Structures are given as structure tokens and as C-alpha cells.
Structure 1
Amino acid sequence: MVDGLLRGAPDVLLRQLSQVLPDRPFAIELWDGSRLAPTTAVTGDGAPPTFAVRDRAALAHVLRAPGQLGIGRAYVSGMLEVDDLDGVIDVLEHWKPPALDRPTQARLALAAARAMGLVRPPAPPAAELRPRGRRHSAERDARSVRHHYDVSNDFFALFLDASMTYSCAVFPTGEESLEDAQDVKRELICTKLALQPGERVLDVGCGWGSFAVHAAQRHDVDVVGITLSEPQARIARERAAAAGVGERVDIRVMDYRAITDGPFDAIASIGMVEHVGSVQIDDYASRLLRLLRPGGRLLNHGIARLRPDDPEAGPFSERYVFPDAAPLHLSRIQAALERAGFETHHVEDFRHHYDRTLTHWIARLDANLDEAIRLAGPERVRVWRLYLRAARNGFRTGFTSLFQVRASRPDAAERPGTAP
């Protein structure tokens, strides 16, 4: 009886999809080989991508969580495959699906349910994290950051440069290698901070220690680096020791809110502010100010949203990439710095440099897919291949940019009319 009900069900689903998506710059292929051809192309570059539903249980993901999350679950699990991720990013950027009224939605859902048949409801992929607890509490932030970073140090080494720098590089001519461009970025930050021998520097979100080692080696400063990832900290300590600056670089696994041994002469916050969130940004700025001596300098390097009405992040990123990460607008970050008491001296945009950085990372990961799957598993690799491309598209289209802000804690002795 069940076989009778299911016979021809995929064709019914395709007919419904054809009716509700009369203009579609992609193909849809079902598990039985039936196919719905594209009717148009988003751009003139290449063939339209194909969404291949390899398992009817993919429909259960979509029915359970309609929209981006359900489709993301089907993709991450491998039940939904795409033959051209760059083409999919192009579709997502340019194609606007038609609005569907409730009766049409109901007919489409019924056709999908019939095509799916009787299947056990699939669990969300293991790579998904649903953060719990108070948003941006220290405990929840630690879980979220570790979900992203504690994949495997060797996995990140497959696509980052030799220094393991996981932030935007700077390409002065556009011809630099990724290694050289990351070195340029680190030295640029040291220059903006005007580091002097013997000074004490705080590296907020130190990652694998590339900036801390660079600053200690080339500028003869003492650096405290903090991260929430123990695997990162272990590699950072090893790299500092190998570089001969182990006694000058102190790597700690701790939250920025737990630092109590200031003051510092300078603070570098590189790729950290994106994780702070709107509810904590004012506290973040105030804490950094208190950790600086009067006259101390801050370099805040981070991603910011450019358009006022765009959401902070979509559900796919929230569950699979950066849980709770929320790139704020530059104006909001600047407001927090100013309210805390910082004086801003210089702001610089590196949007197109992050586009180029991500292009390097994408090419390196794609060249090492087999090893990436061995180290991180197929789910994580699917997430990362899509995430890196979506991030690059954000910089290309003006959704996000990367800003370096140089600021300082005013020295009361330097203010006109103020007694030393």
C-alpha cells in the first residue's frame, strides 16, 4: 500500500516545484534520478548549479525547519549536494524566490511529504551547535568559540598561511603571497601601535600566537595573549618557544573579562570584536580602556556590517559556523569606544583585502579536501567550504567590511587646562 502511495510521488513534487518556481536559475535532481531543469541563469558565467537531493530524508529536514536552517541541515548531512558552490552563492545573492501564499505552501509541503514517505525523522547533523545559557555570558562564549576553533589545528593548517594567522591579510600591491601579506598585516598593526622595546602588550584573541610572536621578536615587547581555545594556546606556546621568545610571550586560556593584571602599554584586538555582540560591546570597550595605562594605545581590527538593515547573522552561521557571532556596524563599535573614553585617531578599511585573503583560503582548502575530511569529517568540511565562500561574497558585495581602528586612552596630563 505504501509503495502504491509513493509511486510517482517524486514527479508530483517536481511538478509543484515547477509551478511555484517558474523562473529558476538552478536545476533540482531527486534521489530517483528525476530532474527539474533550470529556466534561466543568474549571470552569464557558467552553467546553473544543480541541487541534488540524494536522500528523501532531506525533505524531512526542510519540513521540520523550513528555510535556511532546514536546507543547511540537509546540505551538511550530505543528503543535499550541490555541484557548484560558487554558483550557489551567486544564486543566493541575485535570485529572489517568489512569495508563496499559504495554500501554495500547503500544497508544496504535502507534495514533499508524499515524496518523502515514511522515514525516521533525522537528527540534526553532529556539526550543529545550539548555544544555551545567557547570550554572551563567559560560559556560553567559551562553548561557542571552541565549537569553531577546536576542530583540529592540523585542519586549519591546511588553508591558513605558515604562521597560522586567521584574520584578514594586507596586500599592498595585490601580488604578495598569503604569507607575505599576513606579515605585512602584523607589522602594520605594530607600526600603528608604535610599539617600543620593553613595553607590555595585550593580544586579545591571540589565536595560534602569530601576532604575539611577531611583536616580541621584531619589537622587543612582552606580550600577554589570550584565547578560549586550549589547542590554540598549546600551539602558540610552542611557536613562541621555537622562535626564542617563550619568556616574553605569555599565552593564557581565559576570557577578556577575566584579565586583572593591567595596565598595558598597548592592546591589539585582532578578529575578536565580531564575537562580542551588541549586548557586550560597551562593556568590552570599557574593560579594554581600564586595562590600558593613560596614554596607552588600542588597535581594534574586526569585521563590521555596512548596511543598516541587514541582520547580524543567519541561522546557518549561528548553528554551524560562529554561534553568537554578530558583526556590528562600525558606528556602534565607535560609539562604544567613545563612551568608554577612547580617543580615535585613525580608521582604515580593508574590505577588498579580506576578499583576496578568503580566495587564498578557499583555494588551499579545496586543494586539500581529502586530508580535510580525514581530519575534520565530511560535515565540517561541507560547512567550511560554504562558509568561506559566503564570507568572501559578503566582502565582495558590501555586506561586510574589515576595519582597523587606532585609538588611545587619553592621558590627563596632556589635556589642556588639566593639572598633571
Structure 2
Amino acid sequence: MTSKGIAPTIASLFPGGLPLWLRAYDGTEAGDTSQPYGLELVNQRGLSYILTAPGDLGLGRAYVAGDLVLHGVHPGDPYEAFSLLKDHTDFGLPGPVKLAEVLLGLGLSNLVPPAPPPQEHLPLWRRRAEGLRGLTAWGRHSQQRDADAIHHHYDVSNTFYEHVLGPSMTYTCAVYPTGDATLEEAQEHKYDLVCRKLGLKPGQRLLDLGCGWGGMVRHAARHYGVKALGVTLSREQATWAQEEIKAQGLDDLAEVRHMDYRDVTETGFDAVSSIGLTEHIGVDNYPAYFGFIAGKLKPRGRLLNHCITRNNNRGKPTAGAFIDRYVFPDGELAGSGTIVRALEDAGLEVQHHENIREHYARTLAGWCRNLAESWDACVAETDEGTARVWGLYMAGSRIGFERNEIQLHHVLATKTVDGDSGYPLRHEF
């Protein structure tokens, strides 16, 4: 080990410098020691994670495994510290001269990759290789592979989600009617806004794709008297949703099925809601997805697509190594223009387009607060590594929405036939 030590060497890899302090297990320190927030590298395995997967993946692995500890914030809501660190994690191993210096200082033994934490999903290249055997017209988004991806993220534990999401059990962006509205009020307002955009009326039929725990189908059935069918690839979500539907006495109007939406055989729906599903289907599959929806709608029927988007229509749709391995395997984001084009190419007429990204920043702040307040219960329900993943990803996503790096768009469209959209002259919602 050279006199430079671990902390200064690692800090030198961060582009633009390290905006908080770093303390390593060899006793060295680096970074901005005036900050109340800092990182502590507690063992050699954490160092190997960082060196063998430079950037957000290696840092994430060390953090999830407990080898890299974040000080000054709660692990359930590391927003304040992560807002300083977020733009400084995109580093790779340096050029030959600098690399030789790093290796001489830290040792070649640290370039042996440790086994990833158990919370990590297969890397993209492995999923692609395995997916080739069952490749379909949907590319790597075969029904089995999509089911595996959804299971990885959503079948954590219904109890865990109850702690994090709150009573609404709604894992999509809320819409805040006022600045002081609660998370629950905002989720209720979101569902009602979707119902009003779809123009739902008693006796109509609604198909909710990727329905989660059934919040939309229950709201539409209870408040608008529609017959609502929701589908989800998560067995735990479907079980919870059906139990809640029965408990609320909505069996005659609402139903949630554990199934791939592509297996829905019914047609002639007055409305389709897609709230947070488009992110999972793959950009290349947008034409098939919206074509499928168009085929399910009656003439003059309506679609409301609620989707996280990029702030432009350029670049790769993937969300980065950490998100792909730990949060949303195979998830892809595109700009809202890409979605609008796909809708129009599928024969649907866009009637309204709205960006509500700032509402998602507020929503994520509420979820992080819930996670921090119920941290011990969440850890007991899953494990500490999983809870850390959630705190890190939600805080990071909040920052992304606040900085307009990602957005959330509602796109309302109709199945217009022979020029007849069935849509009023002006919006009524």
C-alpha cells in the first residue's frame, strides 16, 4: 500500500471530485470533510466491488451489501446526501498510467470480482443470451421473461409495499391537487383524474393494463359504476387485489386477474387505462402494444397512457446498470414524442398530452418518508439489502424528476372511426 491510501485513490476516480467525505478501512480520508454527509468503506470486498464495476453499479453493490455506509442520512431516505453525489458516480477505470498507479496503490487482488449481492438480477447480456432460445415477435420481452422481471421487482412482499406505499397501495405517480395535499389524497385524486379523462360512465367497461394492487379498478367501479377488469403479471398483487375487492363489496363490478395482458381475450371496452406499464414493454414493442390496445377498444373508446418518460427522444432507452440489475430488469424509457408517434401510428387520435413530472418528485418523497419511518418493519419483512435498494433508487428517482432528467406523461387518445372520435369539443375533465 502506498502512502496515498484507499480513500484518496478512490476519491480521485470521481469526475469533478468527491462532493462529500470518504473514510476507508485503512484509516485514510478524502473528499469534502466540511460536509455533514459522507461515505465509509468498511472492508476489502467493498473496494473490490468499486474497482471491478466502476460507476453506479459497483458503488451500488457495495452499498447494498453493507460494505459502503452512507452517513448523515437515513438509509430509507438518503436524498440529501445522494443529491450531492448523484452526478459524480459515472466514472470508469482511468487510462494506462493512472490505472497502473491505482493498481500499485490498491493491489491486484482487488480486481477479483466478488459475488454480487443476492438482490441483483442477471446482467443484460445473460438475459439476452437466455432469451434467444425463446425469442418471439416481442423480442426479448417474451411472456416468461416479462413475468420474471415483474416478479423480481413487485413480488417482494405485499406487507413491505403496505409500509412504503401507504393505504392506497398505489405504486405510480400521484397527482397533488394542492401543495399541502397528503400522499393518500393525491393518489385518490390521480385515479379520479384518470377516470374523468376517460369519461367513464355507469355501465361502461374498463380494461386496466398492469393494474398493480387494483387501485384503479376499485376506484372506477366504486365511484363511476363501470365494470372494470385489471390484469397484472404479479401473483402477489393479484391475490391482494382480489381480497380487497371482495372486502369492499365490489365483486359484481371489479376483477383482477393474474395474467399477461396479451392473453386478454375480451374486446369492446369503452376505455383502457395503462398506468405505469409502458415502461416495461420495450420501446421496440410500442407499435404492437398500442395496436393491441386499439383492437380492444370500441369505436370512439378512449385510452389513457400514464408513463415515465425521458426528457428527449434521443439516446438509449435503458436506465443504467444499477436500475437494470436491481430495480427494473429490461425496463426502457423513451421521450413522450416517441409514445405519441406510436399511438398515432396505431390509428389512435391523441386528444390531450400532459406532463406531471413534479408530482412524481413529491410522490417519491412521500414513499421515502414512509420507508424511513417504517424501516425496521421493512427490513424484518425482506432484508436490509433490499430495503437499501429501495431507499437509494427512490431518492435517486426523486432527484431525476426534480432536475427534469425524467418526466411523467399522460397521453389521452381515442379510437376515432370515420372521423368520429366521440370526444367533446372541449376537455371536460
Whether these two folds match at TM > 0.5 is: yes
User: Does residue 146 in structure 1 map to residue 151 in structure 2?
Assistant: yes
Q: How far did 1:112 drift?
A: 2.5
Q: How far did 1:101 drift?
A: 2.6
Equivalent residue, structure 2, for 1:112: 106
**Identity over aligned residues, as a percent?**
38
1:357 to 350, 363, 376: 363
Cα 1:323/1:52, change in 2 over 3 Å: same
Does structure 2 conserve the Cα–Cα contact (< 8 Å) formed by 1:63 and 1:109?
no
Equivalent residue, structure 2, for 1:209: 214
Distance 1:363 1:206 in 2: 24
The one-letter code of the counterpart of 1:79 is D
The one-letter code of the counterpart of 2:118 is A
Instruction: Return 50-59 or 367-376, whichever deviates more.
Output: 50-59
User: Does residue 69 in structure 1 map to residue 61 in structure 2?
Assistant: no
SS state at 2:392 partner: helix
Distance 2:234 2:8 in 1: 50
Q: How far did 1:253 drift?
A: 1.2
Equivalent residue, structure 2, for 1:5: none
2:353 to 339, 347, 351: 347
Q: How far did 1:257 drift?
A: 1.6
SS state at 2:283 partner: coil
Q: How far did 1:138 drift?
A: 1.4
Distance 1:305 1:369 in 2: 31
1:24 to 18, 22, 47: 18
1:237 to 230, 239, 242: 242
Q: How far did 1:413 drift?
A: 7.1
Does structure 2 conserve the Cα–Cα contact (< 8 Å) formed by 1:25 and 1:48?
no
Equivalent residue, structure 1, for 2:37: 49
User: Does residue 103 in structure 1 map to residue 109 in structure 2?
Assistant: no
Q: How far did 1:302 drift?
A: 1.0
Matches within 5 A, 1:251-400: 251-309=256-314, 311-312=316-317, 313-400=319-406
Equivalent residue, structure 2, for 1:246: 251
Cα 1:233/1:15, change in 2 over 3 Å: closer
Q: How far did 1:393 drift?
A: 0.7
2:413 to 407, 413, 416: 407
Q: How far did 1:227 drift?
A: 0.3
Does structure 2 conserve the Cα–Cα contact (< 8 Å) formed by 1:344 and 1:405?
yes
Instruction: Return 379-388 or 302-311, whichever deviates more.
Output: 302-311
Q: How far did 1:343 drift?
A: 0.3
SS state at 2:303 partner: strand
User: Does residue 125 in structure 1 map to residue 117 in structure 2?
Assistant: yes
- List runs of 5+ in structure 2 lacking aligned partners: 422-429
Does structure 1 conserve the Cα–Cα contact (< 8 Å) formed by 2:54 and 2:91?
no
Does structure 1 conserve the Cα–Cα contact (< 8 Å) formed by 2:209 and 2:273?
yes
User: 1:293-334 CA distances to partner (integer Å, 9 max, x unpaired)?
Assistant: 111111111111003455431100000011111121101111
Distance 2:80 2:365 in 1: 15
Distance 2:42 2:107 in 1: 16
Q: How far did 1:380 drift?
A: 0.6
Does structure 2 conserve the Cα–Cα contact (< 8 Å) formed by 1:56 and 1:115?
no
Q: How far did 1:391 drift?
A: 0.7
- List runs of 5+ in structure 1 lacking aligned partners: 1-7, 42-46, 416-420
The one-letter code of the counterpart of 1:143 is D
Cα 1:19/1:128, change in 2 over 3 Å: closer
The one-letter code of the counterpart of 1:13 is I
Does structure 1 conserve the Cα–Cα contact (< 8 Å) formed by 2:8 and 2:28?
no
Distance 2:419 2:5 in 1: 78
Equivalent residue, structure 2, for 1:34: 28
Equivalent residue, structure 1, for 2:79: 86
Does structure 2 conserve the Cα–Cα contact (< 8 Å) formed by 1:53 and 1:80?
yes
Distance 1:320 1:96 in 2: 17
TM-score, L = length of structure 1: 0.89
Q: How far did 1:181 drift?
A: 1.0
Distance 1:27 1:33 in 2: 13
Q: How far did 1:335 drift?
A: 0.8
Equivalent residue, structure 2, for 1:3: none
Equivalent residue, structure 2, for 1:59: 47
Larger Rg: 1
User: 1:74-103 CA distances to partner (integer Å, 9 max, x unpaired)?
Assistant: 111111111143344223445487884321
Does structure 1 conserve the Cα–Cα contact (< 8 Å) formed by 2:5 and 2:26?
no
User: 1:152-186 CA distances to partner (integer Å, 9 max, x unpaired)?
Assistant: 00001112131211111111211111111111111
User: 1:250-277 CA distances to partner (integer Å, 9 max, x unpaired)?
Assistant: 2111112222211211001111111111
SS state at 1:354 partner: helix
Does structure 1 conserve the Cα–Cα contact (< 8 Å) formed by 2:213 and 2:237?
yes
Root-mean-square deviation over aligned CA pairs? 2.3
Does structure 2 conserve the Cα–Cα contact (< 8 Å) formed by 1:48 and 1:87?
no
Does structure 2 conserve the Cα–Cα contact (< 8 Å) formed by 1:344 and 1:406?
yes
Distance 2:10 2:360 in 1: 37
User: Does residue 172 in structure 1 map to residue 177 in structure 2?
Assistant: yes
Cα 1:94/1:322, change in 2 over 3 Å: closer
The one-letter code of the counterpart of 1:195 is L
Q: How far did 1:414 drift?
A: 2.9
The one-letter code of the counterpart of 1:392 is R
Distance 1:67 1:98 in 2: 5
For this pair of structures, how many residues does the alignment match?
A: 400
Does structure 2 conserve the Cα–Cα contact (< 8 Å) formed by 1:144 and 1:322?
yes
Distance 1:282 1:297 in 2: 17
SS state at 2:168 partner: coil
